[in-house]
Amino acid sequence: MPADVPNVFANPCLLLKAVSDPVRWNILRELISSAPLSVQELAVRVGGKPSQMSKHLALLRAAGALTVVSAPDGDGRKAHHAVPENCRRTEAGRPVIDYGVCVLRFP
């Protein structure tokens, strides 16, 4: 595990369960390859309704897989989601999320 990745996963099973869903996997794939995105932007990119996307994002946040960040335009009413910066890296030119307890590699 990289030195700057905190071990926030006291129960890694929650993280693994959260990332095992195909929709949530696609959310992570979009977020590792882009700037932070809003619920509406993710719904368009991944497919689905914003209300469904919100539920998936809540599960990923609860598992520690995502963080909420400020909107790039400074609008405090819009929450954007991102993979924690200290978990982001590349490996052989591919995006990787290193949570310490597991590493997710995306094509």
What does the pLDDT look like over 35-68, one tens digit per residue? Answer: 999 999 999 999 989 999 999 999 999 999 999 9
CA-CA-CA-CA torsion sign (78, 83, 84, 86): negative
Judge whether 88 lies within some domain: yes
Does the pLDDT at position 5 exceed 50? no
Angle at 11 between CA 6 and CA 16, to 5 degrees: 95
CATH number of 92's domain: 1.10.10.10
Judge whether 6 lies within some domain: no
pTM above 0.95, yes or no: no
- Total count of domains within the chain: 1
Q: How many CB atoms lie within 10 A of CB 42?
A: 24
CB 68 within 8 A of CB 79: yes
Residues spanned by the domain of 41:
12-102
- 96: tokens are 């990787």
Does the pLDDT at position 83 exceed 90? yes
Judge whether 69 lies within some domain: yes
Q: Give dist(CA 14, CA 76) in Å, integer.
A: 29
The residue that leads in pLDDT, 12 or 76, is 12
